[in-house]
Amino acid sequence: MSSSTRYNRQIILPEIGEEGQEKLSRSKVLVIGAGGLGAAILPYLASAGVGEIGIVDHDVIEISNLQRQVIYKTEAIGKSKAKEAKAMITELNPLVKVKAISEKLSGRNAISLFEKYDIIVDATDNIAIKYLINDACLVTHKPMVYGSIFRFQGQVSVFNYKNGPTYRCLYPEENLNAANCEEAGVLGVSVGIIGMLQANEVLKMILGIGAILSGKILVYNTLNNEQQKYDFEKNDFQTITREAFEEKYNKCEVEEVSFESVLNEMDNDEVLFLDVRNVDESPKISLKNQIQIPLMHLESKLEKLDKKQTIYIFCQSGIRSKIAFELLQKHRFKNIKSIAGGALVMRNLLEEKKDSHEFTNFIF
């Protein structure tokens, strides 16, 4: 079989064999960040035959990335990292199922994404997102393979492995000030080495071989080749429930859209415009798919709303719609947005469009 020939050199390792290869092909790994670390991790996971790889990165390739993000070609400058990384993997090993996710990881998408994978790899370059990944891994019970760099030093560890110690056990103080590569500078080989150590932990975990860096942080110095391992313990106070996660990450982040950007969805039956003003307020806005529930009654009338629909909330000027947004969010509505500026902005825009005869299906 061509696939066993492809993987022959690792299959003949007694620690791996056909059985190990089977484990690899059944595994699903999500790599967050397709920068310097990701560029080292991704090709090795793909070529080893990891069955499914997800790549999360919302950035585009810049020329200053190329000295360390070695999977990208110069001609790809300006293109999506996630998509380019996917194309690279598909060329390298078409047997791998790859998903490019060109979105920013946030409290909104982290949990649903993590649930689809077995192992989460942190190849990101800022501290805030590392806490987010840690917390989402805790909620979804996934191991987090951590790597990070400061100049010629790198750190590697595996958090939440079989309920083991986490990033918060190691770094309980959430200080977001540490410098990234952009600010501190880095040589490509340094991120390559650390990324490779992360990929190694991923493969060991899938194969069930060796000792995982759980409860241990490896610190590597590329200038003198010294490496140290430090032990740390689980702190049961540093855990997080799903409710606490939602509270922390999804509370005040109201997603706003401009009315103009959703005008073309006015006739879409999957979409609902929710007016949270009182009935006596004007200007009146009457769109085809619209419902009016004043904010004060909203919580008691949630059954009138369909969670599957995209709901655009508006009020008079965009303040109450934000409160309504938070309320719906609390009740686990996912596809909701608040219309910036509210009915006043909407009226003006609809009048403009009416004058230009673009729309006729509304009344004041």
Partner 1 sequence: MIEVKYFGAVAEKTKCEFETLSFSEQWSLEKLLQDLNEKYEFESLTFSVAVNQKIVSKTSDYTLQTSDIVALLPPFAGG
Q: How far apart are CA 123 and CA 177, in angstroms?
A: 18
For the four alpha carbons of 138, 141, 143 and 144, in that order, the dihedral sign comes to negative
What are the residues binding partner 1 (CB under 8 A)?
Answer: 33, 35-38, 122-127, 130, 147-151, 153-155, 170-171, 173, 175, 177-181, 184, 186, 191, 217, 219, 228-233
Residue 321's H or E segment, with its range, is helix 320-330
Q: Nearest Cα to 281, choosing from 319, 312, 254, 255?
A: 319
Nearer to partner 1, 175 or 361 (CB): 175
Q: How many CB atoms lie within 10 A of CB 188?
A: 15
Nearer to partner 1, 106 or 290 (CB): 106
Please report how close the Cβ of residue 80 comes to partner 1 at its closest, in angstroms.
18
Please report how close the Cβ of residue 58 comes to partner 1 at its closest, in angstroms.
15
Q: Given strand 271-275, what is the order of strands in its sheet?
A: 256-257, 336-339, 310-314, 271-275, 290-292
Nearer to partner 1, 174 or 351 (CB): 174
Please report how close the Cβ of residue 196 comes to partner 1 at its closest, in angstroms.
13
Q: Nearest Cα to 290, choosing from 308, 259, 269?
A: 269
Please report how close the Cβ of residue 125 comes to partner 1 at its closest, in angstroms.
4
8 A C-beta contact, residue 120 and residue 145: yes
Beta bridge partners of residue 60, listed in sequence order: 80
Please report how close the Cβ of residue 132 comes to partner 1 at its closest, in angstroms.
13
Nearer to partner 1, 149 or 295 (CB): 149
Please report how close the Cβ of residue 55 comes to partner 1 at its closest, in angstroms.
14
Nearer to partner 1, 16 or 121 (CB): 121
Token pair 């994978």 is found at 117
Nearer to partner 1, 102 or 153 (CB): 153
Residues 6+ apart with CB under 8 A from 312: 257, 262, 265, 271, 272, 273, 274, 336, 337, 338, 339
